[in-house]
């Protein structure tokens, strides 16, 4: 289990090519576009921007965008998108933040959960703090660890069937491997035309609301509000998300 994860969904060109079909941003697009507007953010850093779908929506809304991601394959997809030239795309991790001063930093698509150990998470928050202007905001989400894991994801017995514009019909589903504060799981992808099945082995960290609030506070942020879902409802026992709006002190 030491080297369990390969995160093939972000690195295998065959999986990156279907990433936008499998991972639409409809659920959270409006929330982030609205909050960026409400905060009057001029410059936004999108940490872990991936294929850049949301980065582009924010650029289209008139904000100046910097998209940072360690995956060259995902950035390749982002650069080729229709707004590719409106965004500054940077390959790398949080160390790349030191070149910037932004009004808003975001981590969407549960990027925060990819920081598996506490030292890495704390270092990421410190780097984001330095990259924000005084009074700047950090907005991100993490899944609620108290609700059933991936309750709405397809399973081995109920594949999700999709039509990719290039790859054609595909099916995907997840299989849980280890359920802990660090959750290990596999995402299976079946390409119906060729019958080829690819697997992305992933690991995510599930932190509690209290742990995240504490880490934000010790990194120089004040938590302004925490929502439980994309409709901005408060966090409750059954909320799927914990969406943090934090301000740089």
**Count of residues that interact with ligand SAM, criterion CB under 6 A:** 20
Candidate list 36, 41, 56, 74; residue touching ligand SAM; CB under 6 A: 74
Q: How far is the CB of 161 from ligand SAM (least distance, A)?
A: 21
Q: How far is the CB of 114 from ligand SAM (least distance, A)?
A: 4
Asked if 69 interacts with ligand SAM (CB under 6 A), we say: yes
Contact string 80-119 vs ligand SAM (x = CB under 6 A)? -------------xx-------------xx-x--xx----
| 3-state SS string for the chain | CCCCCCCHHHHCHHHHCCHHHHCCCHHHHHHHHHHHHHCCCCEEEEECCCCCHHHHHHHHCCCEEEEEECCHHHHHHHHCCCCHHHEEEEECCHHHHHHCCEEEEEECCCHHHHCCCHHHHHHHHHHHHHCEEEEEEEEEEEECCCCCCCCCCCECCECEEEEECCCEEEEEEEEEEECCCEEEEEEEEEECCCCEEEEEEEEEECCCHHHHHHHHHHCCEEEEEEECCCCCCECCCCCCEEEEEEEEC
Q: How far is the CB of 184 from ligand SAM (least distance, A)?
A: 15
Q: How far is the CB of 236 from ligand SAM (least distance, A)?
A: 24
Q: How far is the CB of 24 from ligand SAM (least distance, A)?
A: 9
Contact string 9-48 vs ligand SAM (x = CB under 6 A)? -x------------x-x---------------------xx
Q: Which stretch binds ligand SAM (CB under 6 A): 63-71, 161-169, 171-179, 215-223?
A: 63-71
Evaluate whether 193 touches 163 at the Cβ level (below 8 Å).
no
Query: Which is nearer to ligand SAM, 67 or 136 (by Cβ)?
Result: 67
Residues forming contacts to ligand SAM in the complex (CB under 6 A) are: 10, 23, 25, 47-50, 53-54, 69-71, 74, 93-94, 108-109, 111, 114-115
């Amino acid at each position: 289990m030491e080297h369990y994860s390969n995160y093939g969904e972000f690195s295998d060109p065959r999986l990156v090519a279907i990433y936008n079909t499998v991972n639409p941003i409809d659920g959270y697009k409006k929330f982030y576009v609205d909050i960026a507007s409400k905060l009057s953010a001029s410059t936004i850093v999108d940490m872990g921007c991936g294929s850049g779908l949301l980065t582009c929506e924010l650029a289209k809304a008139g904000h100046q965008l910097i998209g940072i991601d360690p995956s060259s394959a995902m950035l390749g997809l982002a650069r080729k998108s229709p707004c590719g030239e409106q965004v500054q795309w940077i390959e790398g991790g949080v160390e790349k933040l030191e070149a910037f001063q932004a009004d808003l930093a975001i981590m969407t698509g549960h990027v925060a959960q990819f920081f598996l150990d506490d030292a890495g998470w704390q270092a990421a928050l410190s780097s984001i703090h330095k990259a924000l202007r005084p009074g700047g905001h950090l907005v991100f989400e993490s899944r609620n660890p108290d609700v059933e894991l991936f309750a709405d994801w397809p399973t081995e017995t109920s594949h999700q069937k999709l039509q990719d514009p290039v790859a054609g019909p595909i099916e995907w589903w997840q299989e849980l491997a280890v359920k802990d504060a660090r959750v290990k799981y596999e995402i299976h992808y079946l390409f119906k035309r060729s019958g080829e099945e690819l697997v992305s082995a992933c690991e995510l960290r599930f932190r509690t609301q209290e742990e995240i609030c504490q880490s934000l506070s010790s990194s120089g942020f004040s938590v302004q509000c925490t929502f439980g879902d994309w409709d901005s409802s408060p966090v409750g026992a059954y909320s799927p998300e914990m969406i943090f709006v934090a301000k740089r002190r």
